[in-house]
Amino acid sequence: MDKQVHKFILQLADNELILGHRISEWCGHGPALEQDIALTNIALDHVGQARLFYQLAAEMEGNGKTEDDYPYKRLETSFYNVQLVEHENIDFGYTIVRSFFYDHFYYFLLDQLTKSKHTALANIAKSAIKEVKYHLRYSSEWMRRLGDGTEESHRRVQQAVHDLYPYTGEMFLPSTADEHMKEAYGIDCASIKEQWLTAVKEILHEATLELPDGSWFHKGGKEGVHTEKLGYILTELQYIQRAYPNMQW
Amino acid sequence: MEASMEQKFQEKIDNDIRIEPKDWMPEKYRKTLIRQISQHAHSEIVGMLPEGNWITRAPNLRRKVALLAKVQDEAGHGLYLYSACETLGIERTELIDQLHTGKAKYSSIFNYPTLTWADMGTIGWLVDGAAIMNQVPLCRCSYGPYARAMVRVCKEESFHQRQGYELLLTLSKGTPEQKEMLQESVNRWWWPALMMFGPNDADSPHTAQSMAWKIKRFTNDELRQRFVDMCVEQAEILGVSLPDPDLKWNEERGHYDFGEINWDEFWNVVRGNGPCNKDRINTRVKAHENGQWVRDAASAYAKKQSEKKSVSVA
Ligand SMILES: [Fe+2]
Ligand SMILES: [Fe+2]
């Protein structure tokens, strides 16, 4: 098994799982019934994509591993998602901004993956990108509505942009697994940065919003160093498996 | 004039001709339907909360996805039912306001807490199961939009029921801890599920009129009896006991006899004293209030866009 490819797959899977977990927290609490349904739908897509990646990782590893071993039986230092996706749903604006930043990155990454020589990854990417196009449209439309809506919505969403932007740099900062993917398969997360900035800025402009000037970015998620929030997420996510180990559900 | 309209209306009902939104209908019929459909819609929405509790804690990814999809279905049911209700000349905002101020009710079952993972299965089996018993006859309800909404809702509810039962079946084949979790959950939910059919027929004053209008097809006690008969066998397969010492087969009636429901508890939960009444409403109100700025932003944005459009057209 190629360990670096395996880790790259876990990076993808963990991003999808943790973001899906966060968005699923909205279920039953959305700002309107239609948004409740849409957010739940998006959470379902994210968790569904996480499953595809975990299944692939399990298949690569063999020895009886299943999709559930990764989300339920690893400790926080063995999760490789970027820190951005761990952030709480402070309000609907934070949820949208978090997705908006992530969806753009993920879209461009999947776009590269659809063309890669790694057939299994390319196949997942081809089906996943269809869902991500919808996520991207959803988060972008809400950026416009909130940014160019009322004074209050503008203020709130601008604050979220300001607070979450420092967590975006990590997406483009190659981990050792990313370096390997670049050499072996031409998948280059660093090269996405420019495309990402152009796309994000264009929509922010329409939304009358601005990126902060800062050039300082947090990092560590891809190497297993997270924010304090991940521990709480896993406490909830893994509760049953920890309390009742080795059972079928 | 009114009397002959009413007579014609009743003739249509007697001949199983559907009543549609634009048709004339007695004011009481309209009011009864608004009350019933909105109560049903509210139940779907409030019902998302007890199960939503466990989405982030589901024990594996397959169950997590199934639970998310189920709760999403309930939101969808709420949406069609609010739309069906709006055809009777009332707006969703007003209906939601009635829920938040306590003027409208929702199914009391959702005022009980979900305390263990097994509750996700028990709710599917018993709560969705009882809902199906109540709702399948509504697919033939005299009011067209309600009947059509129910066709789709019932299909999904029966899927929920099978899914819940399958979850319990897995527990029933599991470890002693899992079997205990299953039994404990059934013990808590059995009686509240029987209460879902409402008061005994003798204490249900609206039943006769609703049956004449074909909004209702069977009485509360008829439906409750069917439900009990169905569950006994399913409980045996799960290897769980139902918490009722009086439950036994009655050869003469061809049905199971069962014990008396605790009507004191029933009325108390209806009056707001259930374990979760306050939590549920507070949670709904909070979601609505926290969403205000989002809804305001959406309408402000839509207004700006349409102004821009009309300027560019001119
Ligand atoms: Fe439902
Ligand atoms: Fe259901």
A9-65 pLDDT, tens digit each: 999 999 999 999 999 999 999 999 999 999 999 999 999 999 999 999 999 999 999
Print the SS3 string covering A89-120. CCCHHHHHHHHHHHHHHHHHHHHHHHCCCCHH
Q: Which region, left, alpha or beta, applies to residue B214 given φ > 0 means left and ψ of -120 to 50 means alpha?
A: left
Q: For residue B3, name the pLDDT band (cuts at 50, 70, 90).
A: confident
Q: If you measure CA to CA, which chain A residue comes closest to B290?
A: A31
Cβ proximity of B157 and B126 under 8 Å: no
* Residue B216 alpha carbon to ligand 2 centre in Å: 20
The pLDDT value recorded for residue A130 is 98
* Integer Cα distance of B186 and B227 in angstroms: 15
Q: Which region, left, alpha or beta, applies to residue B267 given φ > 0 means left and ψ of -120 to 50 means alpha?
A: alpha
* Integer Cα distance of A245 and B210 in angstroms: 52
Domain A3-243 classification at class level: mainly alpha
The pLDDT value recorded for residue B9 is 94
Question: How long is chain B?
Answer: 314
* Integer Cα distance of A76 and A85 in angstroms: 14
Q: CA separation (Å) from A151 to A147, A148, B227?
A: 9, 8, 54
The pLDDT value recorded for residue B1 is 60
Average pLDDT value for residue range B171-187: 98
CA of A142, closest CA in chain B: separation in Å? Answer: 8
Domains of chain A, by residue range, sit at 3-243
The H or E element spanning position B249 is: strand B248-250
Q: CA separation (Å) from A137 to A13, A105, A193?
A: 22, 13, 19
- Write the residue in B48, B61, B117 that is nearest to A68 by C-beta: B61
Residues of B in contact with A153 (CB under 8 A): 293-294, 296-297, 300
| ipTM rounded to 2 decimals | 0.97
Which tokens is A170 given? 């990590």
Cβ proximity of A106 and A132 under 8 Å: yes
- Write the residue in B55, B75, B290 that is nearest to A24 by C-beta: B55
* Residue B154 alpha carbon to ligand 2 centre in Å: 8
Q: Average pLDDT of chain B?
A: 96
Q: For residue B310, name the pLDDT band (cuts at 50, 70, 90).
A: confident
List helix spans (H) across A186-228. Answer: 192-206
Q: Which of B42, B44, B55, B166 to mutate to test the interface with A (most CBs of A within 10 A)?
A: B55
Under-70 pLDDT residues of chain A: none
**Which tens digits make up the pLDDT trace of B37-78?**
999 999 999 999 999 999 999 999 999 999 999 999 999 999
**Which tens digits make up the pLDDT trace of B68-114?**
999 999 999 999 999 999 999 999 999 999 999 999 999 999 999 99
Q: Which residue has the tokens 């970027």?
A: A82
Cβ proximity of A54 and A70 under 8 Å: yes
Side chain identity at residue B130, one-letter code: A
* Residue B157 alpha carbon to ligand 2 centre in Å: 4
What residues contact A182, with CB distance under 8 A and at least 6 apart? A174, A188, A189, A190
The pLDDT value recorded for residue B236 is 97
Q: Give the SS3 label for residue B256.
A: strand
Q: If you measure CA to CA, which chain A residue comes closest to B50?
A: A28
* Integer Cα distance of A227 and A231 in angstroms: 8
**Which tens digits make up the pLDDT trace of B256-308?**
999 999 999 999 999 999 999 999 999 999 999 999 999 999 999 999 999 98
The pLDDT value recorded for residue B312 is 78
The predicted model scores a pTM of 0.96
Q: Give the SS3 label for residue B278.
A: helix
